[in-house]
Amino acid sequence: MAEEQPQTAGQPEQPPPAGDAGASGVDGAAPVDQSAVDELLKQATFEDAAAVAGTATDAAAGAPAAAEPGAAPVVPAEQFELPDLQRALSEAQVNSIDLLRDVDLNVKIELGRARMLVEDVLKLGEGSVVELDKLAGDPVDVFVNDRLVARGEVLVLNDNFCVRINEIVSNPRDDEL
């Protein structure tokens, strides 16, 4: 066997040289040359996996071939069917929406804005006119829980004001994802 060198506490253990008989991990085993491994790989045929597993028969004798030691048995493959995720997802979405149907939301329609001094607000009275920053016919903003979600136009239907939605505003935080 090879001589053992004393190791110091800070040095890692050195592996034995490649030509050393103890390198293969089996005592008394001969060293294996890379060219011999390459030659064995060229001679091997991998066409019949059953022969490697020991289930093929010898053509001349009709006896089963001997299995290599340590070879795992061949397990036949089975068809795996994936569940229908689209249908499951849509059912889950419907169930989650049903939970939210009775939640109250604060919806505001903003016709425009104006800045006023406290003095001017105190002077407001019946019939006063407040000038807004938007013109007649400009789109109005639709806010849900103080978040801009849409833009639309003001209409009058049966003597009531209403808003026709013309544009859904994308959330800038969604674009970042």
What domains lie within the chain, and their CATH numbers?
26-53 (no CATH), 104-176 (2.30.330.10)
- Beta strand 160-168 with 107-110 is unpaired
Q: What's the pLDDT band for 19 if we cut at 50, 70, 90?
A: very low
> How far apart, in whole angstroms, are the C-alpha atoms of residue 23 and residue 109?
81
Of the listed ranges 22-31, 53-62, 126-135, 165-174, the least confidently predicted one is: 53-62
Mean of pLDDT values over 2-14: 51
> How far apart, in whole angstroms, are the C-alpha atoms of residue 23 and residue 93?
61
53 burial level (CB within 10 Å; 0-12, 13-18, 19+) = middle
Q: What's the pLDDT band for 40 if we cut at 50, 70, 90?
A: confident
Token pair, residue 173, equals 């935080």
142 burial level (CB within 10 Å; 0-12, 13-18, 19+) = buried
pLDDT of residue 141: 92
Q: Does residue 78 register a pLDDT over 70?
A: yes
pLDDT of residue 54: 54
Mean pLDDT of the chain: 73
Structure letter (DSSP) for residue 133 = S
Percent of the chain, pLDDT > 90?
A: 23
Mean of pLDDT values over 101-114: 89
Across 4-23, b (16+ Cβ under 10 Å) vs e yields eeeeeeeeeeeeeeeeeeee
pLDDT of residue 98: 74
pLDDT of residue 156: 86
Mean of pLDDT values over 136-150: 90
pLDDT of residue 94: 67
Structure letter (DSSP) for residue 25 = S
pTM, full prediction = 0.40
